[in-house]
Amino acid sequence: MAEITLVEAVAMAQARAMQDDPSVLVLGEDVGKDGGVFRATDGLLARFGPERVRDTPLAEGLIAGMSVGLAAQGFRPVAEIQFMGFVYPAVDQIVNHASRLRNRTRGRLSCPMVLRMPTGTGIKAPEHHSESMEAMFAHMPGLRVVIPSSPSKAYGLLLAAIRDPDPVIFLEPTRIYRAVREEVEDDGEAAELDRCFILREGTDITLITWGAMTRETLAAADTLAEDGIHAEVIDVATIKPLDEETILRSVGKTGRCVIVHEAALTGGFGGEIAARLADKGLLSLTAPVRRVAGWDTVMPLPRMEDLYLPSVARILKAARETVNYQ
Amino acid sequence: MRAESDISPPELDPNRYWPVLRYLDKAGIAIAPIPQDLDDRDLLASLYRAMVLTRTFDQKAVSLQRTGRLGTYASSLGQEAVSVGVGASMHKDDVLLPAFRDHGTMLWRGVTMVEILQYWSGDERGCDFAGPREDFPVAIPVASQAPHAVGVAMAFQLRKEPRVAVCILGDGATSKGDFYEAINACGVWNLPAVFVINNNQWAISEPTRMQTAAPTLAQKAVAAGISGSRVDGNDVIAVHDAVSRAIDEARQGRPQLVEALTYRLGDHTTADDARRYRDDAEVSARWQEEPILRLRNYLVGRGWWTKADEEALIKEIRAQVDAAVEDYLAMPPQEPTAMFDHLYETLPQALSEQRRMVEDGDG
């Protein structure tokens, strides 16, 4: 079994899905010969041909909108948006059509499509290439919003997303596209959607995060352990619908919680998790819930992106203050 | 001599490059030889019937809205020939992607009056068509249905099915990127799709000249590398002919754009008052060109339509519309929890609590 990167796992999952199900199509800008600007569709054109692996004109609204048409006709389009900063023209199609086609036709038509796109900062890319807008999609009823945190999760969750009968926004953290290698077996096994994963068990504090920030959060948990603080680390994975039970159970045990995300603080998905804890877990809390997030600034250009990204030090500071809260 | 900086668009004569196909003048006199297969009493009577049904239904829907028994409604008054002509040109297994004013097309294809009323009353069940199961529901965000037509047409192409995606848009829709992105993509992939522009001259309060400096909307096809044509949208025979030919072409993998020139005789919707921005005199003049009287005059002139035919038709259609209204008003409302029923194929666990709150009347 080979060790592969997250982006290779994304390609492997698409190849597996296309092999298993002839209704799966891949489309987007440069997904064919070029194999995608990040190579997330590498090898698919050679293997499955230009009918099923389709380079589209440079038009994100078209990519999302034609996916709605294909999905309503029984295909399972897996469409790539090149960077999250370019998804906005497609948002009209996602919120006005993809997310509600099943509902507004009372189930007559449905929209089993996946819209994949890179998310987040950390690769010194040009302007508009580094945003994290998962909370925007999480606010739209009728969608699933999924963010993998490792090659094996990327493989399993993407397979699950492609097989899901409803639209899924699949956000791939660019910062960890190639940062780690992991053994991933191409066994066609999907991971479970709509649930959080506990990456590390602990008793003193719950650190909740997703995507690329799992790395800094796990590193912070390692450091805390050296001080005798045992942190439980939760990878939310499916932002929407949210697996509230796993979060409440963990915080019920630890009584303390820090939420970590790369997206800007205000309106970020951490606010939703904090609200759920206030609603349903208040009495188990022994300290206020803290959030460590990106600043409420415009995403800085690459020379300052490291200052934007929540650091291990910021996570540690918040975690220690939470643990020491009297 | 022209200064170098004075680069004007080429002055193409629209009537030369995009002539308007027309068989009947506004009085219903044939001004060009009508193709034999179209000059058929039964066919023309069925088109006439469908246009009268559409107008009668529209009038009833507006009166239901005025009396508080229907939500905001978009009448197709004056545009019945476009609507019915498109419907009559499609094969049963083609797929329609309508805008929100295409009741005549939808009715022709088997969407029921009850379903249309349900939708405009604010009930999702009105989009669960019992008839054309693959047709799209109306698209309220203007032009947003155009990219769907690309996907539907691509599905037909991939499955090698001889079917066509037929998308209807308004003149305002041609200002939007969705429209251009869609026709452009259809050109790239030779997709079996037809885009019919119902150019009723007005996008709410903005006349077509405020949408574009192009003298025709059909010529927008040129930039997409597909064929464009114009037709008199108040001549149902011409619409049927032009759209049928466009659909035949599209079925061979040659996507088409058809601009149908008509006029919105009514308000934009029941929430609009067109007198705020449009002269009555303009509207009165346009009533002289309306499509139903035009076809009736032709039918009468051919000896194919009598006063008795007309009276019988009006009576039959009124009864049909009244019966539909009765069925519509008798429909029980959806259960409150219905808003959760089709959100996802299976309601996620995370939403079960909210559903329970609605069930308990805790909303």
pLDDT in tens, A139-181: 999 999 999 999 999 999 999 999 999 999 999 999 999 999 9
Backbone φ, ψ for residue B88 (5° rounding): -70, -20
pLDDT at residue A125, as a whole number: 87
Residues of each domain in chain A carrying CATH 3.40.50.970: 3-183
Return left, alpha or beta for B15; rule: phi > 0 is left, psi -120 to 50 is alpha, else beta. alpha
Give the other-Cβ count within 10 Å of A74's Cβ.
Answer: 13
CATH architecture of A197-323: 3-Layer(aba) Sandwich (3.40)
**A260, A219 contact by CB (below 8 A):** no
Q: How far apart are CA A10 and CA A28, in angstroms?
A: 15
Judging contacts by C-beta atoms under 8 Å, the chain B residues touching residue A106 are: 124-125, 127-128, 341-342
From CA B73, how far away is CA B101, in angstroms rounded? 9
> Inter-chain contact A69–B128, Cβ cutoff 8 Å?
no
Tell me the angle at which helices A244-254 and A269-280 cross, rounded to the nearest 10 degrees: 60
Q: According to the model, what pLDDT value does residue B5 have?
A: 58
CA A220 and chain centroid, separation: 21
Same domain, B274 and B361: no
pLDDT at B3: 53
DSSP secondary structure string, A232-252? EEEE--EEES--HHHHHHHHH
For A243, the token pair is 């697996």
Give the residue from A75, A76, A108 with the most B CB atoms within 10 Å of its CB, the best one to mutate: A108
Q: How far is CA B360 from CA A199, B26, B92, in A?
A: 38, 61, 44
The CA distance from A112 to A109, in Å, is 10
Residue in the structure block whose two tokens are 């796109």: A117
Average pLDDT over residues A63-71: 98
Is residue A44 a contact partner of residue A31, using CB atoms and an 8 Å limit?
Answer: yes
CB within 8 A of A120, min separation 6: which ones?
A84, A130, A131, A132, A171, A173, A174, A175, A211, A212, A262
Q: Which of B103, B109, B254, B264 is catalytic?
A: B264
pLDDT at B17: 86
- Asked whether residue B83 is assigned to any structural domain, the reply reads yes
Q: Which of A69, A166, A242 sits opposite B148 (nearest CB)?
A: A69
Name the more confident of A126 and A288.
A288
How many angstroms away from the CA of B173 is the closest CA of chain A? 15
Among the partner-chain residues B155, B165, B350, the one whose CB lies closest to the CB of A244 is: B350
Question: Angle formed by the axes of helices A60-72 and B177-189, to 10°?
Answer: 70
Question: Residue B291 sits in a domain of what CATH number?
Answer: 3.40.50.970
3-class SS of residue B63: helix
Asked if residue B2 belongs to a domain, the reply is no
Neighbours of A295 (CB within 10 A): 14
Nearest CA in chain A to B157: A51
CA distance A208 to A289: 11
Give residues with Cβ within 8 angstroms of A101, minimum separation 6. A68, A71, A72, A109, A110, A111
Q: Domain check: are B246 and B119 in the same one?
A: yes
Residue B5 lies in a domain: no
For chain B, the domain total comes to: 2
ipTM of the shown complex = 0.96
Query: Looking at residues A33-38, what average pLDDT do you find?
Result: 97
**A19 pLDDT more than 90:** yes
Measured CA to CA, the distance from residue A257 to residue B149 in angstroms comes to 48
Residue with tokens 């929209």: A111
Question: B181 and A59: CB-CB below 8 Å?
Answer: yes
B121 and B77, same domain (yes or no)? yes
Select from A53, A51, A68 the least CA-distant residue to A14: A53
Q: What is the pLDDT of residue B81?
A: 98
In a domain, B303, yes or no: yes
Could you state, in chain order, the average pLDDT of each consecutive group of 10 residues for chain B (363 residues)? 59 85 97 97 98 98 97 97 98 98 98 98 98 98 98 98 98 98 98 98 95 95 97 98 98 98 96 95 97 98 98 98 98 96 96 95 72
Average pLDDT over residues A224-229: 97
Average pLDDT of the residues of chain A: 97
State the span(s) of chain A assigned CATH 3.40.50.920.
197-323
pLDDT tens digits along A283-294: 999 999 999 999
A3-183 has CATH 3.40.50.970 classification: yes
Separation CA A160–CA A146 (nearest Å) = 10
* Domain range enclosing B341: 336-363
Q: Hey, what are A262's tokens?
A: 């790369």
Chain A residue closest in CA terms to B119: A104
User: What residues contact B339, with CB distance under 8 A and at least 6 apart?
Assistant: A103, B358
User: Taking CB atoms and an 8 Å limit, are B345 and A108 in contact across chains?
Assistant: no
Q: Is A285 helix (H, G, I), strand (E, B) or coil?
A: coil
Q: Are residues B296 and B208 in the same domain?
A: yes
Residue (of B28, B24, B82) closest to B260 by Cα position? B82
Same domain, yes or no: B312 and B361: no
Interchain contact A110–B (C-beta under 8 A): yes
Confidence of residue A100 (pLDDT cuts 50, 70, 90): very high
Q: Is the pLDDT of residue A123 over 70?
A: yes
CA atoms within 13 A on the CB side of A277: 29
